Amino acid sequence: MKNTTLKQRLKHKENTIGSWITIGHQVVIDVLSNAGFDWLCIDLEHTAVDFNELQVLIGFIQSYNMAALVRVYKNEEVVIKRALDSGADGIIVPMICSGQEAKQAVEYAKYPPVGKRGVGLNRAQRYGFGFDEYKKWVDESLVVIAQIEHIDGVNNIEEIIRTEGIDGVFIGPYDLSASLGIPGKYNEPIVIEALKKFEDACLAGNISMGYHVVEPDFNLVKDKQSAGYSFIAFSTDFLFMGKKAASEMKNKI
């Protein structure tokens, strides 16, 4: 029923590559399914994708044997519950700044006695015909990724990665630089220092760390893999389309 391999691959820090879905139409999934991604992440935080579209997109992603992740818009009980009840294989939770916030995200995602998630019957539970099976799957295979986007998260990274139920951490370099007062200036020494602190802690803590390589250039993916990142989001649906179109149109007469 579910993709059950991503959690284990994260545990063993195997390289996985996904991409970012911002366009709420299943044709995007149909097209990207030929590329060989391990997972796709639907972004609810910065897009117009709604929950009706979300459930359709999750089903299409899983039909191509890719894991369907959702970047929720907040570390909040209802949005996490709705994303998971729609059938997602996991969540990426933004702006995690402390171990307590990481623990909260896990509790919202998992049922008692581990967590506090309320019980509902939707696509994930096969509308009531598969709740026991789904609960077992949650215990064994649900993926929870903490997104680190603020210097407070970097400063508290050790307690975040020690949080039981967190399967990986995903750095947000733009917001990290913004939290340091220099948005978008990734090459400034203060940002480089913060990224190194994040990387050193994750490597020492033996947890899978992720990065969003925004530009559609696979050499940048290789660079991050060489630095120890194993959970790579490679560009976005609109950038793959827009960059290729712009590149080819340079040749117009």
DSSP 35-87: S--SEEEEE-SSS---HHHHHHHHHHHHHTT-EEEEE-SSS-HHHHHHHHHTT
**Could you give the CA distance from residue 191 to residue 183 in angstroms, rounded to a whole number?**
10
Mean pLDDT over 53-72 rounds to 97
- The catalytically annotated residue of 12, 25, 46, 150 is 46
Taking a C-beta distance cutoff of 8 angstroms, is the pair 187, 145 a contact? no
pTM, to two decimals = 0.95
Give the architecture (CATH level 2) of 6-240: Alpha-Beta Barrel (3.20)
Looking at residue 3, what is its pLDDT? 43
Looking at residue 143, what is its pLDDT? 98
Q: How confident is the model at residue 1 (pLDDT cuts 50, 70, 90)?
A: very low
25 labelled catalytic: no
Mean pLDDT over 186-199 rounds to 95
**pLDDT above 90 (res 215):** yes
Residues 25-48: tens digit of each pLDDT: 999 999 999 999 999 999 999 999
Residue 248: Cβ within 10 Å count = 9
Query: Where are the domains positioned within the chain?
Result: 6-240
Q: Burial code of 17-56, b = ≥16 C-beta within 10 A, e = fewer?
A: bbbbbbbbeeebbeebbeeebbbbbbbbbebebeeebbbe
